[in-house]
Amino acid sequence: MFAIFKKEIQSFFANLTGYLVIGVFLLISGLFLFVFSGGYNILDSGFADLKPFFDLAPWIFIFLIPAISMRSYSEEKRMGTMEILQTRPISSWDLVFGKYFGGLILVLLAIIPSLIYLLAIGELGQTTYNFDNGATIGSYLGLIFLAASYTAIGNYASSITSNQIVAFLLGVFLCFAIYYAFEALATINIFGEFTYLLEYFGISYHYRSISRGVLDTRDLIYFVSVIALFLKLTQVNISSAKNRR
């Protein structure tokens, strides 16, 4: 697993991919938070609060993480190196975990520089660094769980096809659906007393719950379940392709 993980990290930073991902995330979030007028602009809101960043980040990640993950298996299939990997003495789980953690580490490296925003907001406050520490830590923890879930979904999308564009579009669709679609359906209120249960299936509900600064085991179980489900689906795809040969 470590060899696959190391290969993934090296491939990200051997070219501009890794640096581009980190730069794009910081650039887009920075523009929305401090330059573009709108609901996400912290300066316009008049409150020294990083909540707009945590509201914006999931939407950026819906596109950014599938763009990272789309090459995980699609590129291997296109180049014909997937067969070589599967003939080596590594299990399908070693391959899945190696690629998964390689992509996840890159996303986490993109999140770390956002602490600069926290320092900037702290200096802007009338009382400097007057944060709700629990909510801030919870929001970052929720963002990490969300990124981990998106990465698992993106890897699953990549394991289905050898076309990177198809993998990207499928990853975006699945991330959007599991983040927002359940909440959107719940607002229609066509399911009566089951509306709350429907919203509970969406990542958005649990992400907001953790962001309040209260760690609920139900939220943790939800995120772990989503990650485990899509990693298992990815492993099944890899194993099935290997058995067909």
Question: Could you list the pLDDT tens digit for every one of the 245 residues in the chain?
Answer: 778 888 888 888 887 878 888 899 999 999 998 888 888 888 777 676 788 899 999 999 999 999 999 988 887 777 767 766 666 777 888 889 999 999 999 999 999 998 888 887 777 666 666 667 778 888 999 999 999 999 999 999 999 988 999 999 999 999 999 999 888 887 776 666 666 778 888 999 999 999 888 788 999 999 999 999 999 999 998 887 665 55
* Number of Cβ atoms within 10 Å of the Cβ of 238: 21
Quote the tokens at residue 196: 């709350």
Instruction: For 173, list phi and psi in degrees, rounded to 5.
Output: -60, -45
How far is it, in rounded angstroms, from Cα 35 to Cα 214? 32
Q: How high is the pLDDT of residue 125?
A: 61
Query: Which residues constitute the domain of residue 62?
Result: 2-243
C-alpha 15, offset from chain centre: 22
Number of alpha helices (DSSP H) and beta strands (DSSP E) in the chain? 14, 0
- The tally of domains found in the chain comes to 1
Q: How high is the pLDDT of residue 129?
A: 62
DSSP codes joined into one string, 186-221? HHHT-SGGGHHHHHHTSHHHHHHHHHTT---HHHHH
Q: 3-state class of 241 per DSSP?
A: helix
Q: 3-state class of 238 per DSSP?
A: helix
